[in-house]
């Protein structure tokens, strides 16, 4: 049974019937290169996936909100109200859709009736493929359609970021929401986070697969060192700005950074800033390599990205390093790196078709032996943005 029928069947079971319910989808995302650059005014290169979040929804006559997740079925129906949109630890996953409803209101888009919602995601939980941003964008898209709001998908991304920053307290950049809201099949988005200018770049995967390796190490973004890294970069930027007029670390190239790096007083902060600068330049070169059809260079830059995230930004950890280092040993792996915030989550690898099976088998065995539990592997495709099914 396809997911749409499956979710409508569950909707009918939970809420009595599925009359008038509509089904929406928003993808997950993976970032091919350009990690921890999005809040440093640099470039990122993410793409939307065919995995994502499905939501069946129906308007109510009152202001009550009822949420049910097929992924967290033990929690049952979680009730709230449009008059009580505030973050609540006990509200769990519903803080993401509630955050979007709150953010819509803050931006002047008033939601005038309650909703019954059933959600099902096929993004591995805690994988770093942005399940939270996917829930935000599917919520934003269904609100836009149901209530007839004139909002572009780019504005949806900004509202998603606003809701994550202000409602859920995660100081994330724009990349996740933008990649999901603006996704296009078989393309990655070359996005300059300093001014939101972007272009689509065709990703020709003939003879290759994108393989996601999920470490299965749990991590929460808000309570990881994510906000700490962001603060370190902001302090480094302030120290550089005392001597020269730049707006973001993304304004620097490698040469200029090496000339002025001693303005940053602390060695750790210097390393964080070096990653932000070098990763941004790597991303620009990687997109050019794709345009030139130089897949070998693209893979080499992916590998260099991981080394920088491991040594300078220090956000990888034993699990991700094991996945990547084992991947590098395998013939047919073009490039491999951690993707997402780090401290767990996933790696992304470009693997030749004929090596995919060996990759999953060998990396999987080495990981289990070293870490003590199994990793999961997904061969993924590049998909489109949000839609009604």
Check which CATH number belongs to the domain holding 342 and give it: 3.30.70.890
Residue 250 lies in a domain: yes
145: Cβ–Cβ under 8 A, 6 or more apart, which residues?
22, 24, 388
Residue 225 lies in a domain: yes
Residue 388 lies in a domain: no
Identified catalytic residue from 176, 192, 312, 321: 176
Q: Which two tokens stand for residue 149?
A: 């709001």
Q: Are residues 316 and 185 in the same domain?
A: no
Q: Are residues 178 and 306 in the same domain?
A: no
Q: Are residues 124 and 190 in the same domain?
A: yes
Q: Are residues 165 and 232 in the same domain?
A: no
Domain's final residue, options 179, 202, 225 = 202
Which stretches of the chain score pLDDT less than 70? 1, 125-128, 130, 218-224
3-state secondary structure 221-284: CCCCCHHHHHHHHHHHHHHHHCCCCCCCHHHCCHHHHHHHHHHCCCHHHHHHHHHHHHHHHHHH
| 8 Å CB contact between 296 and 334 | yes
| 8 Å CB contact between 220 and 227 | no
Quick: pLDDT tens for 122-135.
887 666 676 889 99
- Taking the C-alpha atoms of residue 109 and residue 201, their distance in angstroms, rounded to an integer, is 33
Residue 127 lies in a domain: yes
Residue 385 lies in a domain: no
Other beta carbons within 10 angstroms of residue 152's beta carbon come to: 11
Domain's final residue, options 177, 202, 227 = 202
Q: Are residues 28 and 141 in the same domain?
A: yes
Structural domain count, the chain: 2
Q: Are residues 222 and 129 in the same domain?
A: no
Tell me, what's the pLDDT at 66?
96
* pLDDT > 90: percent of the chain: 78
Question: Where would I find the beta strands (DSSP E) of 95-218?
Answer: 115-121, 187-192, 197-202, 208-214
| 8 Å CB contact between 38 and 173 | yes
Tell me, yes or no, if 176 is annotated catalytic.
yes
Tell me, what's the pLDDT at 174?
84
Residue that has been written with the tokens 């202001």 in this structure:
63
Domain's final residue, options 202, 220, 246 = 202
Tell me, what's the pLDDT at 327?
98
Q: Are residues 290 and 165 in the same domain?
A: no
Tell me, what's the pLDDT at 222?
44
Q: Are residues 214 and 134 in the same domain?
A: no
| Among candidate residues 154, 152, 153, 176, the one with its CA nearest the CA of residue 164 | 176
Q: Are residues 145 and 265 in the same domain?
A: no
| 8 Å CB contact between 44 and 201 | no
- Taking the C-alpha atoms of residue 4 and residue 227, their distance in angstroms, rounded to an integer, is 37
Grouping H, G, I as helix, E, B as strand and the rest as coil, residue 147 is helix
Quick: pLDDT tens for 63-97.
999 999 999 999 999 999 999 898 888 888 899 99
Quote the pTM value.
Answer: 0.87
Q: Are residues 125 and 220 in the same domain?
A: no
Quick: pLDDT tens for 196-237.
899 999 888 889 999 999 998 866 554 567 788 999 999 999
Tell me, what's the pLDDT at 368?
96
314: Cβ–Cβ under 8 A, 6 or more apart, which residues?
271
- Which structural domain range is residue 336 located in? 208-380
Residue 362 lies in a domain: yes
């Amino acid at each position: 049974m396809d997911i749409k029928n499956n979710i409508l069947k569950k909707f009918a079971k939970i809420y009595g019937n599925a009359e008038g319910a509509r089904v929406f989808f928003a993808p997950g995302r993976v970032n091919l290169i350009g990690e921890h650059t999005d809040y440093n005014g640099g470039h990122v290169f993410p793409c939307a996936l065919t995995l994502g979040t499905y939501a069946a929804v129906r308007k109510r006559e009152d202001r009550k909100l009822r949420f049910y997740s097929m992924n967290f079925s033990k929690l049952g129906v979680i009730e709230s109200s449009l008059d009580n949109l505030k973050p609540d630890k006990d509200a769990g996953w519903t803080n993401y859709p509630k955050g979007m409803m709150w953010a819509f209101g803050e931006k002047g888009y008033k939601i005038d009736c309650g909703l019954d919602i059933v959600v099902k995601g096929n993004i591995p939980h805690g994988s770093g493929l942005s399940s939270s941003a996917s829930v935000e964008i599917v919520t934003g898209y269904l609100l836009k359609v149901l209530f007839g709001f004139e909002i572009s998908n780019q504005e949806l991304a900004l509202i998603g970021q606003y809701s994550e920053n202000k409602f859920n307290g995660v100081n994330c950049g724009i990349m996740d929401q933008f990649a999901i809201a603006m996704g296009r099949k078989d393309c990655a988005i070359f996005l300059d986070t300093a001014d939101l200018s972007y272009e689509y770049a065709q990703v020709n995967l003939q003879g290759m697969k994108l393989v996601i390796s999920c470490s299965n190490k749990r991590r929460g973004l808000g309570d990881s060192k994510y906000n700490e890294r962001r603060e370190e970069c902001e302090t480094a930027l302030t120290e550089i700005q005392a001597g020269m007029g730049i707006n973001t670390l993304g304004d620097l190239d490698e040469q200029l950074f090496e000339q002025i790096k001693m303005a940053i007083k602390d060695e750790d902060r210097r390393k964080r800033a070096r990653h932000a600068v070098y990763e941004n330049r790597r991303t620009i070169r990687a997109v050019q390599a794709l345009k030139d059809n130089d897949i070998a260079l693209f893979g080499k830059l992916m590998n260099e990205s991981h080394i920088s995230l491991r040594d300078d930004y220090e956000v990888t950890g034993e699990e991700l390093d094991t996945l990547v280092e084992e991947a590098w040993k395998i013939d047919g792996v073009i490039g491999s790196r951690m993707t997402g915030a780090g401290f767990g989550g996933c790696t992304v690898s470009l693997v030749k078709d004929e090596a995919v099976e060996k990759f999953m088998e060998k990396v999987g065995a080495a990981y289990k032996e070293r870490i003590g539990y199994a990793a999961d592997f997904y061969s993924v495709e590049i998909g489109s943005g949000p839609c009604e099914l």
